[in-house]
Amino acid sequence: MEHYDYIFAGAGLASLMTVHRMAVSGHFSGKQVLLLDADDKKINDRTWCFWEKEHGGWDAIVSKQWEKTLFGGTDYKKSLDFSPYRYKMIRGIDFYNYVFEHLRGYNDIVFKTERITGFQEGGGTVTVTTTEKSYTCNKLLNSLYDPGAAQSNHKYPLLQQHFTGWHIKTDRPAFNDREATFMDFSIAQKGNTRFMYVLPFAPDEALVEYTLFSEHLLPEAAYGEAITAYLSERGIYNFEILHKEKGSIPMTVYPFWEHNTKNIINIGSAGGWTKASTGFTFMNTVKQSARLVQFLREKEDFRMFGKKNRFWYYDLLLLDILYRTNEKGAGIFSAMFRRGNAALILKFLDEETTFAEDIRVILQCPKMLFIKALLKRALGHKPHGR
């Protein structure tokens, strides 16, 4: 049976970014690393967007960036100038190619296309079973998301950020490619939190995405119907769909790290690395992977990795509100951006603000909603229906 120092279950964003950091650090030279995934990572299956000040570590594969974005509230539109931040986009295939090309220079790091069927810890090692064979390792880093724990718990709400995006090319100029649409809540909410998201690559080309924060998914056709209606309202009737993408990201503060063992750690969405209140993943993974690699250099017991901070509690209150009254989301985000400083809000969402700056952002939100949510939590009320 093949043995490795580290096995990564899944080769998505969290695993690849962590392995890349391990390789670059030079500290893990000579350690045997195995990446296992059922997919060979040869197609563009997703798009990541994030905000960052000026230059960053992944600029080599940033395919487009914007200095301004448009926010559409329930009754207003506002161009957000969030200097010194820039809104950046990375295509999944560019990320995969970049990381795998870099890893080719490390003979101790192996990638195999095999579907994992299970893993078990025992005797100081972990055994990982795939459809092909079994492997053992000292440490397993698991990014395969199992929704069971979050769905069955009665303490923390669980929503989904679910979406469908169309990469389209129009028959005439139809977009301002210097300004992305961050969130447009001007569409019908229908009892949920719904918005459109537009990333223009050229005057005649853009990714148009219909996104919801809600408990349940929609019928497949509903997403495309909403995108078509949104484009029609803007006079866009003739276009070619170049590519489609869809997904569903768990939005929860469930403490996945409590399931870590001494030798098994959950990472990525499986470890709660997704920003619970927004679904943004890329920058959270940048930070968490750096923290994890430093942890691997200093400690051995994965049960010591997880933690809560004050932003975890902020996210909990927002999710409590959206779980009980899902239609309130548009009003909350609209109030936040109407008068708030856009750069400060992004800094807050990146969990980099001081407590005094937190208060400045929080005061822009509907106060009674959050006060009621806080009181319900203090009184031990569980999310409705769980």
User: What tens digit of pLDDT does each residue of 267-294 get?
Assistant: 999 999 999 999 889 999 999 999 999 9
Query: Is the confidence at residue 95, as pLDDT, over 90?
Result: yes
Contacts of 351 (CB under 8 A, 6+ apart): 309, 311
Q: How much is the pLDDT for 386? A: 47
Q: Compute the mean pLDDT over every residue in the chain, rounded to the nearest whole number.
A: 94
Beta bridge partners of 71: 78, 183
Domain ranges of the chain: 2-46+90-153+254-304, 159-251, 310-378
CATH fold group of domain 2-46+90-153+254-304: FAD/NAD(P)-binding domain (3.50.50)
pLDDT tens for residues 137-170? 999 999 999 888 898 888 999 999 999 999 999 9
Q: C-alpha angle with apex 369: 364 to 373, nearest 5 degrees? A: 125
Q: Is 349 helix (H, G, I), strand (E, B) or coil?
A: helix
The helix (run of H) or strand (run of E) holding residue 228 is helix 220-233
Please tell me the pTM assigned to this model: 0.91
Q: How much is the pLDDT for 382? A: 67
Q: Does domain 159-251 have CATH number 3.30.70?
A: yes
